[in-house]
């Protein structure tokens, strides 16, 4: 296993370096000749050799899924929490290359901790003299997440004292800490669940590299489920806190510690229906205008209840990560054509996953077991 883990860590190191291929050219972490030469090389790759960049991304994603399979197969031989620390450590300095949300989190917290204004009422564009605006997106939007997330992110923001590099690092540490807490709690319940979560490529890319706040939301759900079996009141508190990340996760407060409860099945089905209903224009305009891959991270919070189903969703998860094709390959983001292509990729892989649930006997039995 040492050889497998070593190769896996090399792949993660490669992913961390590759993530800077799509860094915003206006961002300056620090000035040093070696750093400048590195940026010149990766920017050339990400912006001017897009076909090669896509091939590298595709290869990295495929390798992540292969290694997850190997880890799950040999989960008893692995110290999952130590592996989680290594994964989080290697990806700590990765750049959120497929999303600008992470930078928006940093600025929202900065509005409160540095400018002492209400981020719910103040937009980044309202602070037009801030030097961070040169690389910010969504500047016309005020803070749109829950109170739990705001309470969490003001800590790394305050510690950074207005410095961009410190803020970036402290925010990354915060997201990594919740990831490790999730793995720890899962390992206390079932080591296999922990390794499935820790090495899941959707968690790796969307949770640790792109650092979407969904990783904190699902972590609070997992922590809540862990305590639900020990001290229900503490468990309910963490489930309540998870709703304060994104209000879309409201149904989790009703999760039952009874693994066979119809309530849990209903909540799980509700999330799947809700996520795919975002393809409908009426629903998508009500929420985030489109369906995005990191929304599906919440499904991994149900590992303690529906491991057999979730482990067979890897085809869908692969499709979610493949939906970045038009952005990496052509640089299109949020254009009508890009959204349609991205949605088509997700639908195709989702349908393939569904068909396999219907035609493969073992997979079909897992569905029947869930329905009973």
All structural domains of the chain with their residue ranges: 2-263
Reported as a single tens digit per residue, the pLDDT across 211-235 is: 999 999 999 999 999 999 999 999 9
Reported as a single tens digit per residue, the pLDDT across 121-168 is: 999 999 989 999 998 988 999 999 999 999 999 999 999 999 999 999
Task: Quote the mean pLDDT of the chain.
Answer: 91
pLDDT, greater one: 33 or 72: 72
Q: Please give the pLDDT value at position 279.
A: 57
* Residue 206: DSSP 8-state: I
What's the mean pLDDT in 56-64?
A: 97
Q: Are 28 and 43 in contact (CB under 8 A)?
A: no
User: Is the per-residue pLDDT at 259 higher than 90?
Assistant: no
Q: Are 21 and 41 in contact (CB under 8 A)?
A: no
**H-assigned helices in 244-360:** 262-277, 281-286, 303-310, 314-322, 325-330, 336-359
CA proximity to 213, closest of 191, 221, 290, 319: 221
Reported as a single tens digit per residue, the pLDDT across 76-100 is: 999 999 999 999 999 999 999 998 9
Q: Is 161 helix (H, G, I), strand (E, B) or coil?
A: coil
Q: Please give the pLDDT value at position 284.
A: 45
| Residue partners of 81: CB distance under 8 A and separation at least 6 | 180, 183, 184, 187, 194
Half-sphere exposure of 133 (CA within 13 A, CB side): 13
pLDDT band at 290 (very low <50, low <70, confident <90, very high): low
């Amino acid at each position: 296993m040492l050889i497998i883990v070593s190769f896996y860590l090399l792949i993660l190191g490669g992913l961390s370096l590759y993530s800077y291929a799509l860094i915003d050219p206006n961002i300056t972490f620090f000035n040093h000749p070696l750093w400048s030469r590195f940026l010149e090389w990766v920017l050339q790759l990400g912006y001017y050799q897009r076909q090669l960049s896509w091939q590298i991304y595709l290869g990295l994603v495929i390798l992540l899924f292969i290694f997850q399979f190997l880890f799950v197969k040999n989960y008893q031989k692995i110290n999952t929490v130590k592996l989680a620390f290594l994964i989080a450590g290697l990806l700590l300095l990765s750049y959120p290359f497929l999303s600008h949300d992470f930078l928006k989190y940093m600025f929202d917290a900065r509005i409160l901790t540095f400018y002492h204004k209400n981020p719910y009422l103040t937009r980044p564009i309202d602070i037009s003299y801030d030097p961070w605006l040169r690389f910010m997106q969504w500047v016309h939007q005020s803070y749109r997440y829950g109170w739990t997330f705001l309470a969490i992110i003001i800590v790394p923001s305050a510690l950074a004292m207005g410095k961009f590099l410190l803020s970036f690092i402290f925010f990354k540490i915060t997201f990594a800490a919740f990831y490790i807490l999730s793995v720890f709690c899962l390992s206390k319940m079932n080591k296999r669940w922990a390794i499935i979560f820790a090495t899941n490529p959707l968690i790796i890319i969307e949770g640790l590299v792109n650092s979407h706040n969904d990783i904190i939301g699902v972590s609070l759900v997992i922590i809540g489920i862990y305590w639900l079996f020990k001290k229900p009141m503490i468990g309910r508190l963490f489930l309540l806190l998870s709703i304060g990340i994104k209000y879309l996760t409201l149904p989790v407060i009703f999760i039952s510690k009874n693994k066979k409860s119809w309530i849990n099945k209903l909540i799980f089905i509700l999330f799947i229906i809700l996520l795919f209903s975002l393809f409908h224009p009426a629903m998508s305009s009500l929420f985030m205008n489109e369906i995005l891959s990191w929304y599906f991270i919440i499904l991994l919070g149900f590992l303690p209840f529906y491991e057999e189903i979730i482990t067979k969703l890897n085809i869908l998860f692969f499709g979610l990560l493949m939906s970045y094709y038009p952005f990496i390959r052509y640089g299109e983001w949020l254009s009508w054509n890009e959204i349609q292509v991205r949605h088509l990729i997700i639908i195709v892989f989702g349908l393939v996953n569904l068909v396999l649930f219907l035609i493969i006997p073992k997979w079909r039995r897992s569905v029947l077991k869930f329905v009973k």
